[in-house]
Amino acid sequence: MKAYQALAAELVEQGVHTAFGLMGDANMQFVAHYSGALGRRFVGATHEAGGVAAADGYFRMTGEVAFASVTHGPGITNTVTALTEAARNRSEIVVLTGDTPPVRTWTQMIDIGAVVAPTGAGYERVYSAESVVFDLRRALHRARTERRPVVLNLPYALMQGEADAPRNRVPTATRVVDGTLEEETLEGALDLIAGAKRPVILAGRGAAASGAREDLLALAELLGCPVATTLLGRDLFAGHPLNVGICGSLASSVGTEILMQADCLLAFGAGLNRYTTFVGELTQGKRILQVDTDLTNVGLYTPVDHVVHGDAATVARRLTEVLTEAEFEGSGWGRKFSERLTAYRPTDEFEDRSADGCVDVRSAVVRLDKVLPADRNVVTDVGRFIMAAWRFMTVTDPLRFTHTSTFGSIGLGLGTAIGAAVASPERLTVAIMGDGGFMMTAGELSTAVRHKVPLLVIVLNDGAYGAEYTKLKNHGDDPDFSLVEWPDIAEVGSAMGAQVLKVTRVDELDRVGKLAQDLRGPLLVDVRLDPRLDVGHW
C-alpha cells in the first residue's frame, strides 16, 4: 500500500469521515483516494484558509479532532491566518501538507516548520513511508492532548513509498477530572465566599463544556447571588431570575449596574480577559476566585486572590455541599434584582434608528433572533457589527456559539461556518459577518453551493470597514476614507448559485425565518445599514 493510501485508510480507521481543504501536488492523490476509493467526504474550499477554517468550525461544533489538507508552498502559507486563529482557540485539528520534491530550485519550496512555528500550531514530519501511519496517529494524539492544531508534513517524495503496518503504538488519552475534592482543598475558596457580601458567579466556556449549569445555579441559590457569563459562556443561565447575562463590554445596563456593585467574583472556567472585565473596571476592588482545569489560564489577564485547580461542575457541587453542611447562609443580595432582570428586554437598550433604505443593525439582529429557529449554531466573523450580534443573537447552548476573533482577523467567519454546518446538519447554522469580511472570502460561498451546505449567511452591510469608520471619526479624521463601493453583494451571491435576499426594512427579515426552515444550500441575506450609525465601543 502506498503511503498516501495508508494515510487515508488510517484516517478512516480513526473515525475521520469528513475532511476539508484544497488539493494540489502534495495531496491530490491522498484526496482522490480518501474521497474516491474510500468514499469519504472531502469538502474542497476555494482557498486554503477557508479549508482550515472549515476544519476549525467542525471541531468547534463536535469537539472531535478535525482534519484538513493543503498542498506545499503557497498552499501552507495561505493557511497562516486561519491556523493562528485555530491555535489561539485551542482547536484540535490536523492539517496534512508536504514538502516539495527535493530539488533546490523547486518553485514552491519553503520551510514548512518555519512557516508553522509562529502560528502556535504543532509540527510533525514524516521521515519514511514506513512510518506514515504511526506519524498520523501521533499527530492526532498531539492535537487531542495539546489542544491545538498540528501540521503533518508528508513530503512529496515519500507519497509513493510502500507503507508498512505500524509496529509502534501511540497511547490513547483520556482527560480525567478528580471528582473528590476534600474540604481542606477548598479552604481558601470557602474563606473568600464566607467573607463576601455581594458575590457574583461568572461562568465561561469551560463551565459550559463541563456541564456545570445546574451545579452553578445550586451554588447561586445558596448564596442568593447573581450569575453572569463570558461571551463564550453566553446564555448558560438563560431563563433564570438571577441571570445578569454577559459580563463586560457587552453587558446590559442593568447587568452593568449589578456587576459594579459586587465585591467578589467567583469565576468558573472563565479567562477574565479585558473585554469580560471591561478593561479592569468590573474587577476593580473585588476579591476574585478562579476555578479552571488549565492553570495556564489563571491570572493570565487579571490578578486573582485564590485559585482552585479543577472542573467547574465538580468544584461548584463540592462548594455547595460543604457550605450546606456548615449551614452557611448567603447574603441573598442578588434576589432584589430578580424582577428587573426578568423584565429586561434587549429593545430596552436602544431606540430604533432605521431609516429609508437602511436598517438599524441592533433592530435587525433582535428581529433575526426572534424569527430564526431557537436551536441553532451561530458563527460570527469580526467587525463593528459584533456590538449588536454578540449582544442580541442568542443560542440555546453556549457550545453552539463561536466567533473568529481570537486573532482579530476579518474574513474567517464564512469558512468556519461551513465547517460548523457540515458538522451539525440537523440544526440551522447562522453565519453573521460584515461586508468587508464577506468580500474578503466571498469565494467560500461557492464552496457552500457546490457542497450543498445548508447555511444562512447574514451580511450586515454598511458599505464600509465599520470599526475603522468609528476609529477614524474618534481620531478626528474623515471617516469616509473607510467607505467602500462594493459590487452588489446580493448579486454576487446569486451569481455563485446561492439563494439571496436583500433587506432594507426590518419587517423584511420575517421572510428570512420562513426561508431558513428548509435550506438545501446557502441563503445569503444582504442587510443594508447606515455606516454613520455607531452602536458600541471601539
Are 120 and 103 members of one domain? Answer: yes
CA 174, chain centre distance (Å): 23
DSSP labels, 171-209 = PP----------TTTTHHHHHHHHT-SSEEEEE-HHHHH
Q: Whole-angstrom Cα distance, residue 500 to residue 482?
A: 26
Cα dihedral across residues 243, 246, 252, 254: positive or negative: positive
pLDDT at 144: 97
pLDDT of residue 535: 81
**Judgement on whether residues 336 and 377 belong to the same structural domain of the protein:** no
CA distance 204 to 395: 15
Q: Looking at the structure, do residues 371 and 410 belong to the same domain, yes or no? A: yes
**Phi, psi torsion values for 223, nearest 5 degrees:** -85, -20
Do the domain assignments include residue 298?
yes
Phi, psi of 61 (to 5 degrees): -90, -25
Structural domain contains residue 473 = yes
Domain end residue (candidates: 281, 311, 343): 343
Q: How far apart are CA 229 and CA 308, in angstroms?
A: 19
On whether both 140 and 224 belong to a single domain, the answer is: no
Rounded-to-integer distance, Cα 82 and Cα 98, Å: 18
Q: Considering just the CA atoms, what is the radius of gyration of the chain in Å?
A: 25
The sign of the dihedral angle between the CA atoms of 139, 399, 388, 440 is positive
> What's the chain's average pLDDT?
95
> For position 169, what pLDDT does the model report?
58
200 pLDDT above the threshold of 90? yes
Give pLDDT tens digits for 68-78. 999 999 999 99
* Arithmetic mean of pLDDT, 455-483: 97
Question: Cα–Cα distance between 476 and 269 in angstroms, integer?
Answer: 40
Domain boundary among 114, 143, 158: 158
The answer to whether residue 178 scores a pLDDT higher than 80 is no
| Same-domain pairing of 143 and 67 | yes
Q: What is the mean pLDDT of residues 507-523?
A: 96
Asked whether residue 533 is assigned to any structural domain, the reply reads no
pLDDT digits over 401-425, tens only? 999 999 999 999 999 999 999 999 9
Tell me the residue length of the chain: 538
Are residues 286 and 304 located together in one domain of the fold?
Answer: yes
* 375 shares its domain with 312: no
Query: Could you tell me the pTM of the whole model?
Result: 0.95
Question: Is the predicted pLDDT of residue 164 greater than 90, yes or no?
Answer: no
Checking if the pLDDT of 276 tops 50, the result is yes
Claim to verify: residue 122 and residue 195 sit in the same structural domain? no
How many other C-beta atoms can be found within 10 angstroms of the C-beta atom of residue 172?
Answer: 8
- Residue 220 within any structural domain of the chain: yes
Sole residue written with cell 516539495: 100
pLDDT at 206 over 70: yes
Q: Evaluate if residue 173 carries a pLDDT over 90.
A: no
Do 421 and 275 belong to one domain? no
Report the domain count for the chain: 3
For 200, the domain range is 187-343
Q: Is the pLDDT of residue 531 over 90?
A: yes
CA separation for the pair 37, 31 (Å, rounded) = 10
Model confidence at 179: pLDDT above 60: no
- Is 377 domain-assigned? yes
Cβ burial, residue 481 (10 Å; 0-12/13-18/19+): exposed
Q: Mean of the pLDDT values across residues 485-494?
A: 98
User: How far is 466 from 53, CA to CA, in rounded Å?
Assistant: 23
Distances (CA, A) of 65 to 140, 280, 501: 7, 35, 35
Contact 203, 216 (CB under 8 A): yes
> What ranges in 125-202 are assigned the alpha helix state H?
132-146, 187-194
Residue 402 Cα distances to 83, 202, 205, 233, 252, angstroms: 16, 18, 10, 10, 20
262 pLDDT higher than 70: yes
With 0-12 / 13-18 / 19 or more C-beta atoms within 10 angstroms meaning exposed / middle / buried, residue 56 is buried
Measured between alpha carbons, how far is 181 from 322 in angstroms, rounded to an integer?
10
Backbone angles phi, psi at 136, to 5 degrees: -65, -45
Clarify whether residues 364 and 322 are in a common domain.
no
Asked if 305 and 376 sit in the same domain, the reply is no
Q: Are 134 and 77 in contact (CB under 8 A)?
A: no
Domain boundary among 158, 177, 204: 158
One-letter amino acid of 312: A
Q: Tell me, what CATH number does 94's domain have?
A: 3.40.50.970
